[in-house]
Amino acid sequence: MKHTLILLLLAASLGVMAAPQDSRPPLSKDELHDLLTSSTPSKVIISTIQKYGIAFQPTGDVLEEFRKSGADKAVLAALREAWHSDVPKPLGDKEIRMMLAEGTPGENIVRAVQERGIDFQPGGDYLEEIRSEGAQDALIETLRAATPRPFSKDELLQLLTTRVDQDWIVQRVRQRGIDFDPDKQNLQTLQNRGALAHLLEAVRTAKRVKPFVVQAPPPPRLPGPLVQGRAAALICEPSDKDVPVFADPHDLGNVVARLHCGDQITFLGKVDSPPGFGRIQYADGKEGFVSNSYLELPVATIGNGVTAPVPIYKPEPGYTPQARHDGIEGTLTLMIVIDSQGNVIDVQESSEPLGEGLDQSAMDTVKTWKFTPAKRDGVPVSVRVKVEIMFRLYHDTP
């Protein structure tokens, strides 16, 4: 009798057996543990998770913890689906100033604005202030043309999960607007996640804006391997104005031609002496020698003065329905190249494939990762690193 009374009180507090509460917050870990240990049917737990969402991130360790508390596959799947992965946040005015103060290259800040958007309206005074702080024309013009990125429904749901100050959210919704239809169903979803009446009203009356679209071009691909007798393109660093061609690699004072970055040449092979030069054919069959640095993209390895890149956006690859159905598990090893801008520009699989679409899911997701680039003597460089992606399903105890 006592156990039944506790169960009834718990169910009522969560709104499972009672009328829904307008401002019911998402489920905490403790509340979910209480449901699992009180022998509440899985269907009721899943319905409660879907109705109210969760206030914690279901990492592998957390899911294993709930599995040991009695969660079956269906409950664990509901937990994974209830969590919205982190939405890349738009840049704020202070964040841009901090990047300038830290000496972040202007083109990197421009790219961040194009990829993430901004959460404020940069007025004339602000633009003049950051110009005095070192902002170049490209960044000024990018900000001048930018408008605050509107809120998506997923971003609001994420804020409701992690932030309790709804007055702050209301203020930002009025400034930025929304990019979705505030219909009855969407408002109910926000309400179930914990949105209070004044936030729901702000969303309902917010200005509608077109969804934010990333303006940055796709990251460049690595040039293919050099093959003797095949065409190749000359590669330059941003500081290079042209590519010097020498008649004799032993006499660097004798420059016979200057080619443009990106020009097509025919690679004829590398020379043994002196090392570091390749023989090419260019311009109507003429031959000469250029530094290998113009023929191959330099890729460093971590160590010996090269610092490791630091991830700043790293979503986890998802399971494909077929792989989940077939119970495929395993670890995938990838070799990736991260360029000096922090983009993943090449992904190669170096382990046995897992199949069922998991390999492609991992490679496609890793290509979206962003890093603070590796550095050598404070200068950003491209690096090749190994990453491991673990795919694991959570099983019921026997």
Would the pLDDT of 36 be above 60?
A: yes
Average pLDDT (348-362) is 88
| Structure tokens that stand for 269 in this block | 């092979």
Which of the listed residues 63, 82, 101 is the one where a domain comes to its end? 82
Name the strand (E) or helix (H) holding 269: strand 264-270
Q: Which amino acid is at 158?
A: Q
Task: Using the predicted structure, report yes or no on whether residue 202 has a pLDDT greater than 90.
Answer: yes
How far from chain centre, in Å, is Cα 184? 31
**pLDDT (tens digit per residue) in 105-127:** 787 788 888 888 998 999 999 99
Rounded to whole angstroms, the Cα distance separating 198 from 97 reads: 32
* Distance between first and last Cα of the chain: 30
* pLDDT mean across residues, the chain: 82
224 occurs within a structural domain = no
**DSSP class of residue 118?**
B
- For residue 180, the enclosing domain spans 153-205
Out of 33, 55, 82, pick the residue that ends a domain. 82
What distance in Å separates the CA atoms of residue 70 and residue 55, rounded to the nearest whole number? 20
pLDDT band at 379 (very low <50, low <70, confident <90, very high): confident
Cβ neighbours for 331, distance < 8 A, ≥ 6 positions apart: 351, 388, 389, 390, 391
pLDDT above 70 covers a percentage of the chain that reads 85
**pLDDT for the residue numbered 87:** 61
Number of separate domains in the chain? 5
Q: How many CB atoms lie within 10 A of CB 319?
A: 20
Residues 337, 360 share a domain: yes
pTM above 0.95, yes or no: no
Residue 367 belongs to a domain: yes
Which pLDDT band holds residue 15 (cuts at 50, 70, 90)?
very low
> Mean pLDDT throughout 341-349?
85
Does residue 215 lie in a domain region? no
Answer whether residue 274 is part of any domain: yes
Q: CB–CB of 19/47 below 8 Å? A: no
HSE-up of residue 52 (Cα within 13 Å, Cβ side): 24
| Contact present, 319 and 394 (Cβ < 8 Å) | no
Whether residue 220 lies inside any domain: the answer is no
> Binning pLDDT at 50, 70 and 90, where does residue 86 land?
low
- Report d(CA 96, CA 117) in Å as an integer: 11
